[in-house]
Structure 1
């Protein structure tokens, strides 16, 4: 195996490992027409999408990627909280390419090096953090199928003590008009199906209104009231909060696209579910 390539970790388990089957599935998921959304005719700057196996959250993810279908971006910043390897700070990746069944995607190594040489004291190349983590990988086939070819990625996983304020300021200085931010997160974890719909509705409302205080307050309230410490509002809290800081600073608007949870699937348990949501962030100026 080439040490300069990050190979797929969850092909087969989370999405088809054969290119033809994967393309067919993505085409089906992206073919649904969601009508006349508020962001139509606006400049899409960021999306929030889930990262469960495609059979569970693929349609919700597709609703986010439909907003960038056929669009061209130079650099795509991928953000998510680490799920597999736990570390302090922020981890980017030193490798040259990330591979999926649909081909290789170049890493913007100029920007990853710039991140690591910045004044932010806790950013480093940490390939092991990315090796088996599915959070960012699940976004790649959708990107390859949706946006114009020629983009590069900046993979970013957030660990503990990420210093969100400072990192948001750093990203603000790196974003260009042809950049896209993708935040990878699922929503509530392990409430009942009915509870999840209520929790996730409030979470999505807070995100769409760019209300960090409401998000923090609701999260604390949920923890205080919950009989189970395992119930959470979302699994990439730092990535979400960094995106909201950027969106507020740049005057972006946000729109809820779709929602579901695993309890809505015919074969899944409704007693402990995971929520999935898609949100688009855009500028008011027309394209």
Structure 2
């Protein structure tokens, strides 16, 4: 039974149980509960020194008492993937405690024929899922033996493929015992990211980046996957979790069309931050945003 190591602990976040727990607690205490209980959240996956405080605004919306399963959809940064992949491990290690993979849900997903398996090496190289594990462990610590996780690595999906996975995940999103964590940073701006879109009418560079990201967030809040695809075509904004976000939007759209037992699905962005403020064309920054989706 393979266990995925916490390969980014000690560099991207603290590998000390006590220090990490305290840090997460402080960030969560500083965030307000305004849009919960969350059925899904969107949160960043950078080093905690950059995005930990922002992430807390998404994680604060979770009601751990109802959650029995946590789906984590993270984009693939290192391997080319046309679809989605499941882990080869049965447990994910964190400095707080180990998280168990839901083998029954994995078997159900395997049965669709739409998922491949990633190797343990690929899994341990990827940070987009791992960076959410300590936050999940912290929020769920009072129920640590009562929940499982369903990590899914999301490849470069076409809009049609996003719709296929959206339909697969819709029935899980409809279940109040499930929580979806959508892993995404927002604009990666600068020459090192090969993206320097700048509209001077929007102010300084960092203000232009903010406007660009706000346009995306406003569209995501409408839960319209086609509008989000059009936005990405127009601006090519480097939102690394655009495909996991697309899958969530497709799942929500599918449920809305099917009728969600009279529930209204509502997604709101609660926090936005940038790693630094870009003033000139040689600067660079990464943007972070936290959102929660709930069934009202």
TM-score by length of 1: 0.86
Structure 1 position 85, deviation (Å): 2.5
Residue of structure 2 equivalent to 1:65: 59
Shift, 1:109, TM fit: 1.0
- Which of 94, 102, 107 aligns to 2:101? It is 107
- 1:264-283 superposed matches below 5 A: 264=277, 271-283=283-295
Which of 110, 118, 127 is the aligned partner of 1:126? 118
Structure 1 residue 209 corresponds to structure 2 residue 222 = yes
Task: Could you tell me which runs of 5 or more consecutive residues in structure 1 were left unpaired when the two chains were aligned.
Answer: 224-231
Q: Aligned in 2, Cα 1:188/1:201: closer, same or farther, shift over 3 Å?
A: same
User: Do residues 152 (structure 1) and 148 (structure 2) align?
Assistant: yes
Residues 105-161 of structure 1: CA deviation (Å, up to 9, x unaligned): 0000111122112143xx112134312100011111111111332211111011234
Deviation at 1:264, TM superposition (A): 4.8
Q: Which residue of 2 aligns with 1:44?
A: 38
Once the two structures are overlaid, the 10-residue window that deviates more, 272-281 or 125-134, is 125-134
Please give the alpha-carbon distance, in whole angstroms, between the structure 2 residues aligned to 1:173 and 1:51: 26
What is the TM-score normalised by the length of structure 2?
0.84
Contact 1:196/1:261 (<8 A) preserved: no
Q: CA RMSD in A?
A: 2.0
SS in 1 for 2:170: helix
- The alpha-carbon deviation at position 174 of structure 1 amounts to 3.8
Query: 1:262·1:270 contact (CA, 8 Å) conserved in 2?
Result: no
Question: How big is the shift at 1:205?
Answer: 0.5
User: Which sections of structure 2, spanning at least 5 residues, go unmatched?
Assistant: 190-195, 197-204, 257-264
Q: 1:86 offset after TM fit, Å?
A: 2.5
Aligned to 2:187: 188
Q: 1:69 to 1:30 in 2, by over 3 A?
A: farther
Deviations 1:68-116 (A, max 9, x none): 1543311111002101232332110121100010110000011112211
